[in-house]
Amino acid sequence: MDLSLPTQALATVDSSLRAAVFDGAIEAVLLVDPTLDQIVDANHAACDLLGHGYDSLLQIKFSALHGSQLPALVVFNQAVFAKGTYWSHALTPIHAGGTQLRLEYAGKRLSHHGRSLLLLTMSDLEQRRRRYVDAVADDYMRDGLPAWQRIERVFQDIERENQLILRAAGEGIYGVNAEGKTTFVNPAAELILGWTADELVGTEMHAMVHHSHHDGRHYPGQACPIYAAFRDGAVHTVDGEVFWRKDGKPVWVEYTSTPIHDRSGVVVGAVVVFRDVSQRHEADEKLHAALAEVDRLRERLQLENDYLQEEIRTETNPRGIIGQSEAIQTTLRQVKLVAPTAATVLITGESGTGKELIARAIHEASTRRDRPLIRVNCAAIPRELFESEFFGHARGAFTGAVRDRIGRFELADGGTLFLDEVGEIPLELQSKLLRVLQEGNFERVGEERTRKVDVRLIAATNRDLKREVQRGRFREDLYFRLSVFPIESVPLRDRREDIPLLAQHFLVNEARELKTELRLSHGDVRRLMRYDWPGNVRELQNVIERATILAQNGRLRFDLPESVSGHAAASTGRQKPDAQPAVMTASDLRSLERANIVAALRACKGKVFGDDGAAAMLDMKPTTLASRIKALGISSPRSQG
């Protein structure tokens, strides 16, 4: 039997029948394309409800029907597309006559040929209420007057027996029937909520004062503990929720919902007793914030203490900058100039020249001296931990992050951050460092909260950052941001006149530790001044410490190689073994001799003659030295002390 024709005919009938069902539906139905803000189709009931003809309705933008309710409309559309279906009483479209309609929207997501559409059913709430009243009236007509009178007597009894209590009570009290409609409101509730009893009685209480959580999220009626009393017949006590005043402001409340039973035991409503606990909630919030701040400060203080203890253990350099050379005097003048400002300082120089001492001197002379100087050795941080070390991390940010940890920037807030060996910072982190310097804010690893800090930055490096920029290993913008005020830390071989003072300082410290009396001889000083000190001041300190350990019979023993190039190395720098020695002019030799004699006079406090005089230190006759002093125009030897 050939069934192709009847099947095709049936499909035609189904298509036309579906169109007729859509157009003849009792409820108003719209088919909407939210992406284009377009009404695609509408049935007769929708045209009648909204007061527009079919053609004119299709020409109206969907959002134009809702006036100023665009945000609520967007939320509704997003909820439909997120959940598949969604209901709302919050939207009030505008009738063609200009009046607002109270409707229930029921939306369903549809997909058609790649388009995401919204099938919207609109129900007139006023008509629904009238239908409900008619249905209840029919029920009462069937049940007779006894049922009506029974319910009426329940609320009359409540109101009569408790009227004095309701008016005298300091707590807000209101009653709701099994439909959620308000039956009575006491004066305290009126005062707290800002609504009058006339405005509330007969309305759905949840929709009026309990419709949203404190953060604005919708509070569905089926989740309301007050309504739950109708279902389980139990007393519900709730704290930490809000009721909404007439002026739109939230009121933090504590309430108890107690079900009401009629004489036969049927739940017919509930009485809600509530009190305004906004002041208590505000106090709790302040207390929690204060406790959190105390915890944060305690953690910060502990970290600062741990850091400072570590600094005490590892600190080997003297706190003061020691020296009388012109290079040191220039450095001290620069420190004095820049310390009172907030300028970023870049200290350059070879390892061991005392760059950290300069940073400490700047910090101690600044207005931030009451806050800590936090030092970060960038060369000692593993590449993958740079960001955490600088900015801190949140618990769970990565494997091993078992608790929140503040970084060095936050630890240095209000103080100074010293980035030693700044040239070792990975290129990918330099942009984040630049952002902190420019904007003063950052985020911990694994945390979205932006934190603001006030940090004065001092950086140090033994690299040539200009060359690093040219090679693409250091950001040019970061280099210029760091080198606002550059200071060069001069190597020890270029300020030999400071060697005796430094050596004596280190020797005094070591002798105090060993509880012994040791002194530098003139031969010791000459030997120290002949050496080039490739490790600079740090090497000198180590040599003095080693000499005190090796000392015998009160004499220091220096484990120190003799310098091949002697003083010439001070001017020419260290040369490769196969390099030709630099040729010095007579003027260069004269200047070098003069500087050497001045250094010897200072070390001997201006004394020329005797075993402890400058002549013995320089291994020349006193008369010869006196002649050279006069020839070189050196001021009175006593003034050199």
Q: Write out 220-252 in H/E/C secondary structure.
A: CHHHCHHHHHHHHCCCEEEEEEEEECCCCCEEE
pLDDT < 70 stretches in the chain: 1-14, 137, 139-170, 300, 302-320, 561-588, 636-641
d(Cα 87, Cα 108) in Å, to the nearest integer? 9
Cβ atoms of residues 95 and 101 within 8 Å: yes
81: which 2 tokens?
């597309």
Q: Which long-range contacts (CB under 8 A, 24 or more apart) does 625-628 make?
A: 625/597, 628/593, 628/597
pLDDT value at position 420? 92
pTM to 2 decimals?
A: 0.45
The DSSP H or E segment spanning 208 is: helix 205-209
Contact 508/502 with Cβ under 8 angstroms?
Answer: no
Q: β-pairing, 85-88 with 38-42?
A: unpaired
- The conformational region for residue 337 under phi > 0 = left, psi -120 to 50 = alpha, else beta, is alpha
**What pLDDT score was predicted for residue 581?**
45
pLDDT at 312: 46
* DSSP three-state, residue 36: coil
Distance CA 421, CA 248 (A): 58
Q: By CB neighbour count within 10 A (0-12 exposed, 13-18 middle, 19+ buried), where does 383 fall?
A: exposed
Q: Can you tell me the distance from the alpha carbon of 373 to that of 379, in angstroms, rounded to the nearest whole number?
A: 18
